[in-house]
Amino acid sequence: MVPKEGIAPIYNATYTLFRLSPLYVPGAKDFWLEDNLSFHARRFAESIQSDNLRPTNLVLEEAEETINKSGPFKQCRWHVLQQPGDDIEPVRSADDLGVLQGLQVNVEYERATYTALLLKGVESTEDANRDQVRLPLVCIRMPAALRSSFSYYMASAFDTRMEPLQLNGATLCETLESFLKECAEDEDSFEKTVKEIQLSLSFNKPIQPTLKSIDVAIKREDVAGFLAQGRIVSAAQTTSTKFIAGAFMSGLQKYLQVQIALNLNADQITVSKIACGAFALGREGKLKLFAPNVGLNDDGEYDDAAMASRRATGQLLQLLLQAAFGNT
């Protein structure tokens, strides 16, 4: 397995997450055909060039300098990230992770390109009804007005609804736990991928007028200790918690309880953001993924550390797909 060139579009950019209800598409199997996608690309391009939304006014809710940076409209492209059902190889192209199946929409201007990724996961998510296509998770990097235009087009063309994907604290913690567990299977991958871990804890009711949240940072060299302590705490746990049982959060919860008398299980405390060297994820639905580490063995194939990093990233996206799918 020889690495391919290029970086998947989901990496190294901040996306806003949305959930999308099933698309109504008569003869859904034809949705992925190039001619069909080109047709929708042309129609969407026409809609954003209409009198109501001229190129120079695309970013009505953004600063004036952002408008000027985009420049004249060039083209709109819709294309498949990965043909449904194809085998996936964990490479660094747009097809590098199994969960990166779906649709990519690019709106290109002279000096900027805006992107929407509509993801469907490894498993076929077409409904038993042949007139439906499921693309439950949408990752968007567009100005507000263009994003609104895209949402309107999807609703009018496919009778679907796009809504912000808000994540609760338990989902954020599960995502972090899953990522750490996968990386921990290879010590080299863990060292290269997991750096300082940062968590933002929000209070439903401010403890003090100016204290609405606190940030917790754990140095990379301390993460293994929290995991080890957490495994001991989890094994001895007899009462339920509001978080999915996991080694890292169990260790952190124990540490904060002892050191500063802060109980993460209190109803008024919520995990609102998590970040490490590989990704950042917020409760409001903001995601930034960094490209997994590349390591090659003597045969020119990805080494164990690189494969572990990719599996961890794939599992993270799969959990987000499940969160979106559960709400569509």
Residue 84 clears pLDDT 50, i.e. is over it: no
Sequence letter at residue 174? E
Look at residue 90 in the predicted model and tell me its pLDDT: 34
Contacts of 17 (CB under 8 A, 6+ apart): 137, 138, 139, 140, 164, 165, 167, 285, 286, 287, 320, 324
Structure tokens at 140: 């968007």
* Measured CA angle at 14 (ends 328, 198), to 5 deg: 95
User: 324 pLDDT band (50/70/90 cuts)?
Assistant: very high
- Cα 55 to Cα 288: distance, rounded to the nearest angstrom: 27
Name which residue leads in pLDDT, 297 or 157: 157
Q: Is 230 helix (H, G, I), strand (E, B) or coil?
A: helix
Average pLDDT of span 199-212: 81
The residue ranges of every structural domain in the chain are 14-164, 169-325
The helix (run of H) or strand (run of E) holding residue 322 is helix 304-325
- Cα 328 to Cα 174: distance, rounded to the nearest angstrom: 20
Structure tokens at 130: 């042949």
- Cα 259 to Cα 255: distance, rounded to the nearest angstrom: 6
Contacts of 322 (CB under 8 A, 6+ apart): none
The helix (run of H) or strand (run of E) holding residue 191 is helix 187-193
What are 244-281's pLDDT values in tens digits? Answer: 568 899 899 889 989 988 888 888 889 999 999 889 99
Least confident range from 134-143, 217-226, 278-287, 305-314: namely 305-314
Name which residue leads in pLDDT, 299 or 71: 71
Average pLDDT of span 194-200: 91
Average pLDDT of span 172-178: 92
Q: What is the signed CA dihedral for 20, 287, 100, 66, rounded to 10 degrees?
A: 80
